[in-house]
Structure 1
Amino acid sequence: MSNQQWQLSGSMPERYEEFLVPVIFTPWAQELLSRAALSEGAELLDLACGTGIVARMAATRGVRVCGADHNPGMLAQAETQSAGQNITYRQADAAGLPFDAGRFDAVICQQGLQFFPDKPGAVAECFRVLRPGGKAVFCMARGLEENPLMRAQVKAFAVHLDADEANAIRAVCGFADPEETGALFTDAGFDPVSVQAVTLELNARDAGAFVNGLMAATPASERIAALSPEARAALHSDILAGFGSCHHGKALRFPHVPNVVVAAKPA
């Protein structure tokens, strides 16, 4: 999968915010912010900020936040969602951040690193823009076998769409090795570096509506919209069936398992 396949455009950022952020990205924003343990007045870079859920939650805690993302559509949606909050946003390449050295107390990156074309360059840039003693907190999905959310989509897309669309979802789990992940941060100069498999149980009260959201907020959404109503219904049914025992009546309750990195820049 190319990095560009997850550069959502048009109405996609709005769908991402509406359907995916409440179920997936809000609980993880809370988790990552708790690990960053920022004090009021601290400065945070929300890297690959998407529609800005980490930035918005941090700002409510008195943290000064800058969100950075490569995608102008996501940034526009982030600005809409955070209207009235003291947050700045910048379009930026993760491997060439437009910030002075030593500016931030922390960098948080939620489900972004696996899509960066230059991962060593991006992590080195995070090291550069952190103050001594600053902290990088990242999370990236582990393998499909641990993540029914992506596994269900990959299986159904392979049947109803094609291998390319399935591989676009598979790429969410494309940087899952904890040793490789830890080495990336150690090589950039971080010390100590912790890489931990962390599980959150995520909840969608209306399973059918959530699967509709998955179908609408994916790089394959145009392909899905072009299907016949019968084909879309079959795809929807197979995604939902792919959650297996995580489907409880009307609701979904499923584990979501990434590697969480907490890495410090030496003081």
Structure 2
Amino acid sequence: MPAAYERYLVPVVFQPFAEDLTARAAALDPRHILELAAGTGVLTSELLATAPSAEVTATDLNETMVALGATRAPGAAWRQADAQQLPFPDASFDLVVCQFGVMFFPDRVAAFTEVRRVLAPGGRFLFNTWAPLATHGFEVALQAGLERAFPVDPPRFFATVPHGYADPTLVTDDLTAAGFTVEDQLELTLQGRAPSTADLATGYLTGTPVRAAVEDRGDAPAVRATVIEEMTARLGPGPVTAPMTAYVFRAAA
């Protein structure tokens, strides 16, 4: 799954936002950076290139992601870590960053409280989270394909998890509850560009948790064909471009 995620989704969906988040991080002139939910290292690589004087520690809950990320961005110190129980001393970092990971934390206030603990006084927490599903052109088309393939009870992972923390007021409230002061919050729309809808469908169906749902429910090749057909009808065969919207937050400890 990490290999498919890295090949088909990272360049299209995550790279544009990694470049944006890295520019915002570099402007803070950090010296010790902790990255949460680093995945395969798309943001990590950008941080290493843009802030070469900073020490970067990259973490992820998934050991497979950590192993792959360590090969992709070997300049960082990689380790497996739970964001709700960070294995670092108090005040160890002056910047904590997280790209599209906070939505996956079971207890976000607990995770944010841990982030604040490991930040030095005045340190910053910089992260992004997806806006509602309807604002992501690729995933609207994908969900339509899944609903066509599964007319009864289609997988709703994208609506409920990646796009399930899409209320900026709730995010701000959670940060405040963890003791942060929210300094900046903005809505950002970037364009994703993919070589083909077939590649996109392959990435989403084999490189995300939807893979298990599809395999458990029936004929995966037939599902893939249906999803590609629906996505192509909506986006074209490729190359394809679609808007993707996220929220970006910066909070001070």
TM-score surpassing 0.5? yes
Q: Which moved more, 1:46-55 or 1:229-238?
A: 229-238
TM-superposed deviation, 1:192: 3.7
Instruction: Give the equivalent residue in structure 2 for 1:79.
Output: 70
Instruction: Give the equivalent residue in structure 1 for 2:230.
Output: 238
Structure 1 vs Structure 2 CA RMSD? 2.1
Change (3 A) 1:179 1:229: closer
Rounded to whole Å, the distance in 1 between the matches of 2:186 and 2:29 is 27
Contact kept? 1:153, 1:169, Cα under 8 Å: no
Instruction: Give the equivalent residue in structure 2 for 1:50.
Output: 39
TM-superposed deviation, 1:210: 2.5
Give, as a single letter, the amino acid of the residue that structure 2 aligns with 1:72: E
The answer on 1:209 being equivalent to 2:199 is yes
Gaps of 5+ in 1: 1-11
Contact kept? 1:153, 1:166, Cα under 8 Å: no
Instruction: Give the equivalent residue in structure 2 for 1:130.
Output: 119
Contact kept? 1:206, 1:252, Cα under 8 Å: yes
Percent identical across equivalent pairs? 32
Contact kept? 1:202, 1:253, Cα under 8 Å: yes
Rounded to whole Å, the distance in 2 between the matches of 1:178 and 1:106 is 21
Contact kept? 2:205, 2:224, Cα under 8 Å: no
Contact kept? 1:224, 1:232, Cα under 8 Å: no
Deviations 1:97-131 (A, max 9, x none): 00111111211111111111010011111111111
Deviations 1:7-65 (A, max 9, x none): xxxxx111111111111111111111111225777111110111111112211231211
Contact kept? 1:46, 1:107, Cα under 8 Å: yes
Give, as a single letter, the amino acid of the residue that structure 1 aligns with 2:56: V
Instruction: Give the equivalent residue in structure 2 for 1:150.
Output: 139
Q: Which moved more, 1:212-221 or 1:101-110?
A: 212-221
Instruction: Give the equivalent residue in structure 2 for 1:68.
Output: 59
Instruction: Give the equivalent residue in structure 2 for 1:119.
Output: 108
SS at match of 1:172: coil
Rounded to whole Å, the distance in 2 between the matches of 1:42 and 1:26 is 23
Instruction: Give the equivalent residue in structure 1 for 2:190.
Output: 200
Instruction: Give the equivalent residue in structure 1 for 2:25.
Output: 36
Give, as a single letter, the amino acid of the residue that structure 1 aligns with 2:243: P
Number of corresponding residues: 248
Contact kept? 2:183, 2:252, Cα under 8 Å: yes
Change (3 A) 1:34 1:145: same
SS at match of 2:199: helix
Change (3 A) 1:172 1:22: same
Change (3 A) 1:185 1:219: same
